[in-house]
Amino acid sequence: HLLSLCLSLQDIERTAQKLLSKPAWIYYSSAADSLGALENNASDWRKITLRPRLMRNVRRTDTSRTALGCKLRFPFFISPAARAGLAHEDGELCLARGAARKGIGYCVSSVASFPHADISRAFYGELKNSRGSGIGDHGALWFQLYVANEKMVTLERIEAAKRGGYKALVITIDSPVVGKREEDERYRVEVNAESLPNSFAGGSQEPPLSPPSDGADDEGDGPLPLRGVHSSTFNWNDLGWIREAWQNSGPIALKGIQTAEDAMLAATHGIDAIYLSNHGGRQCDDTPSSIHTLLEIRRFYPKLIEDRKMEIFLDGGVRRGADIVKALCLGATACALGRPFMYSVAMGDDGVLKAIQLLSDEIETTMRLIGATRLGQLNNSFVNTKRLELE
Ligand code: FNR
């Protein structure tokens, strides 16, 4: 019933805010410092206008696309976001089943609330069920890798990805440390203050109770504080041993690229795909939106886009099918969404399916309205980027 009133991803967000626990809402919605990067993500899509071409037959559309070697029914996937279990007891399982059922992609976080084997079983189980409906051969399960301080932890994650049949390794490169998310911090302080004894008489040496979630950290709230903490030494030379461990089990993407220079470096290192992202504004503040970074790459290294050797993904602030169409017009392979899917999990499997349905309907409608019937037809003649380029 709640879901039937959700006509957009914004509606899903508003509904989720009412359903989620306070720590879950804060953890999902927070962003770094003064929220500059978050605001860029929210506002930049609107600065690109569409240029509809009319009087074309647009009755039939085909929105399918291959990404990282997998067929997707629609050019978008679920961004890796830690701890979907805060939203629903089935957490990541809802996302896995939804992606398989609808034939889209799901990039699972290193820091999931369920073992990666369980998530993979949920995904491939649902994919099998969907065979026959013609959807079963579409859909993708990828693994997002955080390189940890301890090499063993990273190697264990890569092994889990291989064992679970994850078809690509998406290495997050924007997190040598965790960003400063003040809402998480404030909540922790509040919870600690409430758990303090009313009086210090008696001089208890007990430290204040831990809050229910170590919200500022994408690395779970386990009792082992050092285990899994991001590596701050991770650099281009480490790609060698990571590749060796991955043993060509699928393509490799770098997530978190924010400049044309790093896009170029990824290409010279033979990376299969770049994933432009400022981590949903949760890491470095005042960074460009991914669509802004795409324009920068188009300007300084147009060949990276024309050659089509590296696939290009984008996330951050994508909230409408039209946003995805704009990115594709400018050379992106596919887009991804983080928070909207986390919010949809608050409404379980139905919430996830609804979010995917809303977006895919919007993509088809936008394509028809601008006069395109296949993704291959999308090019920069359908967009005006002047307003964003002037900034
Ligand atoms: C994230 N993100 C993220 N990225 C990643 O590579 N590994 C992770 O574990 C997480 N965890 C995480 C948790 C939460 C709650 C959020 C909101 C985000 C970043 C994520 O992959 C993506 O880049 C952003 O969420 C995209 O922005 P939008 O769609 O949320 O605006």
d(C-alpha 64, C-alpha 72), whole Å: 6
No. of helices (H) and no. of strands (E), the chain? 15, 12
Contact 3, 354 (CB under 8 A): yes
DSSP lists the bridge partners of residue 306 as none
**Which protein residue's CA is at the shortest distance from atom 25 of ligand 1?**
338
Our answer on whether the CB atom of 256 is closer than 6 Å to any ligand 1 atom is: no
Q: Which amino acid is at 80?
A: P
pLDDT in tens, the chain (391 residues): 899 999 999 999 999 999 999 999 999 999 999 999 999 999 999 999 999 999 999 999 999 999 999 999 999 999 999 999 999 999 999 999 999 999 999 999 999 999 999 999 999 999 999 887 767 799 999 999 999 999 999 999 999 999 999 999 999 999 999 999 999 999 999 998 876 554 444 433 333 333 333 333 444 444 333 456 899 999 999 999 999 999 999 999 999 999 999 999 999 999 999 999 999 999 999 999 999 999 999 999 999 999 999 999 999 999 999 999 999 999 999 999 999 999 999 999 999 999 999 999 999 999 999 999 999 999 999 999 999 997 7
Exposed e or buried b for every residue in 149-181, given b needs 16+ CB within 10 A? beeebbeebbebbbebbbbbbbbbbbbeebbbb
Q: Which of 111, 282, 292, 320 to mutate to test the pocket of ligand 1 (most atoms within 8 A of CB)?
A: 282
- State pTM to two decimals: 0.94
Our answer on whether the CB atom of 342 is closer than 6 Å to any ligand 1 atom is: yes
Our answer on whether the CB atom of 98 is closer than 6 Å to any ligand 1 atom is: no
Our answer on whether the CB atom of 228 is closer than 6 Å to any ligand 1 atom is: no
Our answer on whether the CB atom of 220 is closer than 6 Å to any ligand 1 atom is: no
CA of 380 to the centre of ligand 1 (A): 28
Our answer on whether the CB atom of 245 is closer than 6 Å to any ligand 1 atom is: no
Contact 104, 97 (CB under 8 A): no
Atom nearest to 280 CA in ligand 1: 27
Tens digits of per-residue pLDDT, 216-234? 344 444 433 345 689 999 9
Atom nearest to 38 CA in ligand 1: 31
